[in-house]
A and B are shown apart, each in its own frame.
Chain A
């Protein structure tokens, strides 16, 4: 049954015993302090000063000083490029940037063969898109949808290979050929009704959008010491940032780690609302398929919360790949407040956040009115800055509502009165820091109607404050059992919960301590960094990159990567059925029977080999 030459078997066994093959490649790197070279892929983020999530990336890079980071950044606008970079730590080896907002045509005019290749690939792409996204494939069978996904990926990689071999993809994607291919696909039988109605301006808009979305295909990052030399790609967001990682995986087999704190596909849906239906359906199909492809190819996906996780699962991410890594926050600012035992004011409720309509301060004020009926001494401090013109207007509205609901009141006849609700901002004389804002009250309230990851709630937890929040977004996930949760848009329930908290100092203290413990466990920077450190090592050990190692003279070094380094699969699991990435489909064979012995992708039955070795001795 297992008739492999014993020589190979011996080698394999030795490898499995000594070290993860991922670190075998470079002998100077030691196992204990394994250094991983990470290609950090960002889009409109780190290292730009105005980038999204730059703080998180910065902490990650600084926190993992034992690894090497190569940063591949796509900038989002000219202004962002002009504003410059944040200071980079020593472990950042190189930074390569490319603008997504401008694409220069390299003036390459395709020959006949290249034109045919482009037509084939783009036609395939357009054909898949015109059939809609994977999400609304109701009656479509598994095979059909798998075939469609396969068509999409082959078209995408076909275009990428064309860009690598010939260049000139930007011009081709803008050209009339692309528009014509789109038109053909939209008029073809089987196209969606909405796609069928596409008019010429719609086709042009789709072609322009696709050109912009596919710009990473034309980058020169994938060879000659770029992404082909890193051990793993870490895409800090989905969509355009993950596309280079996808291509590096395709060209050089570099594993891809995808971190999504906000689901890119979802933000695409929310952003594109004014385009005609034909454009939106084609683009939704493109982004949906791209997200599915990225989720399929990624080695590990780390959603930032359960909400992102659900979207990823919905878009085809394998559950086994998903590891929720909560965003980390710096707990040191809140340590003093969190550890001190005395409370500033047992009768004060605090709300902290950015003032915008989604926070539903009106509901909070109504709830506070109910609270005042029960507990007349209570005060409410609303701490926050308005966001934009809408936020300003909303804040004004809330101020006037507070003035109407609650008249000013004073201690006695001879003292100056004050309103029980006060609106404040951080940085004033009373509240110099954020921690002081949380310290000012006994209970922190969150009244949002819509919420992503509630940062103010985490901050309140760090401060050891009892919280009452509405059940929106990731609130329940964050708070766990350490605070009260009420339905949104329900002032009465909110008021009752607040009163319950105000009346029970012991419970407040207990919940606050539990909240602080939970936050320190889950939401610290260290937790985040450690999680990624572990994931890096896991990926590198499970999916090593195979490449030819060159010696000092530039010649390929024979046996630099031992043969067993090419064996994927779990060594301990007798029934593991794994196919090499990019390996032939037939190598999987039927479950239960080992594959062909010589095939690189066949699973290794560790137990069988082990006994064979012992027999050989």
Chain B
């Protein structure tokens, strides 16, 4: 700011020569008023040549000063208008006008200095603005710049609709293949049924993998540096939980009754019955799960862009998380009812819905970069189910009958579905509490980092 008063002082020759277009214009406008000066300038420049051209500014200023003296004597009336114009011209103001975007945007003087230098302003240019160097010129510009404090940058436009169709179709694949497998199991017998079962399980597993590799359920955008450390164990326990949903209840019922006497035949009415409906419903539930995760991610990101504080963001995201979760449960229940009706089995709501909830929460946490808790909870749930089965069989050993008592009591009271329902329910509740704390953090929704 030091230069301000000096700059407004009347009568100071400000622009020594035609160094840039502004002074060029100025000279051009006043050309007829200072014709002799131009001649003198040309002559001096022509005579002195190039290297000395650096000093040309001063030279022409001197020439013009002489011209002013002569012109003042010759035509005082014509010189008069140029004087106030000179004083009114605040060269820094003109410079600021030219670089106004830079000045408005700058967060500190060095940014203006860098920008000015990128536009070719050097210390010698700055000297014309009565500044020692570009830095002090930039400081003055920064201090004088009218920064619009209220200007809130428009939040970055939401990412354009990406290839949504890709993942949307992929999430339908497990359900479709599961349906085909279920139909195949219904239509075949004996060895062919075994083949169909194996092929169907493989196909569904691959389809599931494909569905989880893209879209909102994929973990790729967060853990780009490599596979998550807990991925294999999580995957294995997930398949175990699904397998239990298909075969576990039948096995437990048979075990309590003293069986099983034969391997599962794939039929729903055998000695070790196969529950197709829950697994099929869960396979179809990939689609609503993906949409729910997508909805949650998009909405959360939108709230992130709009929120000013971390607490505010957490408060606004928590109901969103619960709402999305409830939506998925409803969708899963509807799918289960549909599958059970079509397949003619009874819908095991409790265990299937809790399992679906558990898997969705585990996947959403993994997607947002929290792999530790899902791995532990899934392991715990799968171990608990396995333990329930093992205790029943262990109870048959002499002297160990007490081991089977809790599970048998449970099965006797609420049926075999109560064991997975309790286990998955507890696990899902744990994860829900965890998710309500972690998924409402802003850092969970940080987009892929962009360089800046």
Q: Is the CB of B124 within 8 A of A204?
A: no
- Knowing A269-B115, A310-B133, the reply to whether A135 touches B108 (Cβ < 8 A) is yes
Stretch at the interface among B7-15, B63-71, B224-232, B332-340: B224-232
How many residues does chain A have at the interface if contact means C-beta atoms less than 8 Å apart?
77
With an 8 A cutoff between CB atoms, is B240 at the interface?
no
Scoring B49, B117, B307 by chain A CB atoms within 10 A of each residue's CB, the highest score goes to: B49
Q: Is the CB of A281 within 8 A of B108?
A: yes
Give chain B residues whose Cβ lies under 8 Å from the Cβ of A138. 143
Give chain A residues whose Cβ lies under 8 Å from the Cβ of B107. 194, 277, 280-281, 284
Q: Is the CB of A270 within 8 A of B54?
A: no
Render A166-194 as a binary contact track against B, CB cut-off 8 A, 1 for contact: 00000000111011100100010000011
Give the residue of B53, B135, B304, B452 whose beta carbon is less than 8 angstroms from that of A487.
B53
With an 8 A cutoff between CB atoms, is B153 at the interface?
yes
Give the residue of B49, B447, B452 whose beta carbon is less than 8 angstroms from that of A496.
B49
Q: Is the CB of B53 within 8 A of A496?
A: yes
Give the residue of A176, A187, A201, A307 whose beta carbon is less than 8 angstroms from that of B155.
A201
Q: Is the CB of B50 within 8 A of A204?
A: no
- Among B90-128, those with CB < 8 Å from A are 105, 107-111, 114-115, 117-120, 122-124
Closest to B104 in A: A277
- Knowing A272-B452, A280-B107, the reply to whether A484 touches B122 (Cβ < 8 A) is no
Bound complex: CA A209 to CA B451 (Å): 7
Bound complex: CA A484 to CA B444 (Å): 60
Bound complex: CA A273 to CA B54 (Å): 33
Give the residue of B46, B120, B445 whose beta carbon is less than 8 angstroms from that of A472.
B120
Q: Is the CB of B442 within 8 A of A200?
A: yes
B430 to chain A, nearest CB (A): 18
With an 8 A cutoff between CB atoms, is A288 at the interface?
yes
With an 8 A cutoff between CB atoms, is B449 at the interface?
yes
Bound complex: CA A49 to CA B153 (Å): 40
With an 8 A cutoff between CB atoms, is A349 at the interface?
no
A324 to chain B, nearest CB (A): 16
With an 8 A cutoff between CB atoms, is A275 at the interface?
yes
With an 8 A cutoff between CB atoms, is B164 at the interface?
no
Bound complex: CA A276 to CA B51 (Å): 44
Q: Is the CB of B50 within 8 A of A501?
A: yes
With an 8 A cutoff between CB atoms, is A613 at the interface?
no
Render A96-121 as a binary contact track against B, CB cut-off 8 A, 1 for contact: 00000011110100000000000000
Give chain A residues whose Cβ lies under 8 Å from the Cβ of B305. 199-201
With an 8 A cutoff between CB atoms, is A74 at the interface?
no
With an 8 A cutoff between CB atoms, is B272 at the interface?
no
- Knowing A200-B309, A204-B446, the reply to whether A496 touches B122 (Cβ < 8 A) is no
Render A246-272 as a binary contact track against B, CB cut-off 8 A, 1 for contact: 000000000000000000011001111
A103 to chain B, nearest CB (A): 7
- Among B41-100, those with CB < 8 Å from A are 45-46, 49-51, 53-54, 56-57
Q: Is the CB of B51 within 8 A of A200?
A: no
Q: Is the CB of B111 within 8 A of A284?
A: yes
Give the residue of B45, B50, B120 whose beta carbon is less than 8 angstroms from that of A449.
B120
Give chain B residues whose Cβ lies under 8 Å from the Cβ of A208. 446, 449
Render B145-176 as a binary contact track against A, CB cut-off 8 A, 1 for contact: 00001001101100000000000000000000
Q: Is the CB of A489 within 8 A of B135?
A: no
How many residues does chain B have at the interface if contact means C-beta atoms less than 8 Å apart?
61
With an 8 A cutoff between CB atoms, is A500 at the interface?
yes
With an 8 A cutoff between CB atoms, is A468 at the interface?
yes
Bound complex: CA A280 to CA B304 (Å): 19
Q: Is the CB of A493 within 8 A of B53?
A: yes
Render A475-512 as a binary contact track against B, CB cut-off 8 A, 1 for contact: 01000010111111110111011101100000000000
With an 8 A cutoff between CB atoms, is A279 at the interface?
yes
B110 to chain A, nearest CB (A): 5
Closest to B223 in A: A105
Give the residue of B53, B124, B149, B451 whose beta carbon is less than 8 angstroms from that of A497.
B53
Give chain B residues whose Cβ lies under 8 Å from the Cβ of A277. 105, 107, 153
Scoring B114, B139, B226, B444 by chain A CB atoms within 10 A of each residue's CB, the highest score goes to: B114
Q: Is the CB of B108 within 8 A of A174?
A: no
Render B414-452 as a binary contact track against A, CB cut-off 8 A, 1 for contact: 000000000000000000000000000111111101111
With an 8 A cutoff between CB atoms, is B32 at the interface?
no
Give the residue of A176, A490, A498 whose beta carbon is less than 8 angstroms from that of B441.
A176
Q: Is the CB of B120 within 8 A of A288?
A: no
Give chain A residues whose Cβ lies under 8 Å from the Cβ of B115. 269-270
Q: Is the CB of A269 within 8 A of B110?
A: yes
Give the residue of A179, A200, A493 whose beta carbon is less than 8 angstroms from that of B307.
A200
Bound complex: CA A557 to CA B29 (Å): 82
Give chain B residues whose Cβ lies under 8 Å from the Cβ of A209. 449, 452
Bound complex: CA A133 to CA B118 (Å): 21
- Knowing A266-B114, A314-B135, the reply to whether A135 touches B225 (Cβ < 8 A) is no
Q: Is the CB of A489 within 8 A of B20?
A: yes
Bound complex: CA A322 to CA B215 (Å): 54
Q: Is the CB of A288 within 8 A of B110?
A: yes
With an 8 A cutoff between CB atoms, is B310 at the interface?
yes
- Knowing A176-B441, A200-B310, the reply to whether A270 touches B49 (Cβ < 8 A) is no
Bound complex: CA A339 to CA B115 (Å): 41
With an 8 A cutoff between CB atoms, is B142 at the interface?
yes
Bound complex: CA A212 to CA B449 (Å): 9
With an 8 A cutoff between CB atoms, is A64 at the interface?
no
Scoring B46, B143, B307, B445 by chain A CB atoms within 10 A of each residue's CB, the highest score goes to: B46
Closest to A503 in B: B49
Bound complex: CA A350 to CA B114 (Å): 31
With an 8 A cutoff between CB atoms, is A226 at the interface?
no
- Knowing A212-B449, A501-B50, the reply to whether A450 touches B110 (Cβ < 8 A) is no
Q: Is the CB of A489 within 8 A of B441?
A: no
Q: Is the CB of B122 within 8 A of A485?
A: no
Q: Is the CB of B108 within 8 A of A284?
A: yes
Q: Is the CB of B49 within 8 A of A484?
A: yes
Q: Is the CB of A107 within 8 A of B229?
A: yes
Give chain A residues whose Cβ lies under 8 Å from the Cβ of B443. 174-176, 178-179, 204, 207
Give chain A residues whose Cβ lies under 8 Å from the Cβ of B18. 487, 490
Give the residue of B53, B229, B308, B313 whose beta carbon is less than 8 angstroms from that of A485.
B53
Q: Is the CB of A485 within 8 A of B155?
A: no
Bound complex: CA A176 to CA B443 (Å): 5
Closest to A271 in B: B452
B309 to chain A, nearest CB (A): 7
Give the residue of B21, B54, B124 whose beta carbon is less than 8 angstroms from that of A489.
B21
With an 8 A cutoff between CB atoms, is A290 at the interface?
no
Bound complex: CA A492 to CA B447 (Å): 53
Give the residue of B50, B105, B153, B225 whose beta carbon is less than 8 angstroms from that of A486.
B50
A610 to chain B, nearest CB (A): 45
B287 to chain A, nearest CB (A): 30
A478 to chain B, nearest CB (A): 13
Q: Is the CB of B109 within 8 A of A200?
A: no
Q: Is the CB of A276 within 8 A of B153?
A: yes
Give chain B residues whose Cβ lies under 8 Å from the Cβ of A136. 108-110, 139, 142
Bound complex: CA A199 to CA B154 (Å): 12
Give chain A residues whose Cβ lies under 8 Å from the Cβ of B308. 199-200
Give chain B residues whose Cβ lies under 8 Å from the Cβ of A487. 17-20, 53-54, 56-57
Which 9 A-B residue pairings sit nearest by Cβ, starting from the closest? A497-B50, A484-B50, A281-B107, A500-B49, A269-B114, A484-B51, A208-B449, A486-B53, A176-B441
Q: 10 more A-B contacts (CB under 8 A) besides A136-B110, A271-B452, A489-B120? A: A176-B442, A179-B441, A203-B310, A205-B452, A212-B449, A269-B115, A284-B108, A449-B119, A476-B54, A485-B54
Interface CB pairs A-B, < 8 A, 11: A104-B225, A133-B108, A174-B443, A176-B443, A200-B305, A201-B304, A450-B120, A468-B50, A471-B54, A497-B50, A500-B49
What residues of chain B have their CB less than 8 Å away from a CB belonging to chain A?
17-21, 45-46, 49-51, 53-54, 56-57, 105, 107-111, 114-115, 117-120, 122-124, 133, 135, 139, 142-143, 149, 152-153, 155-156, 224-226, 229, 304-305, 307-310, 313, 441-447, 449-452
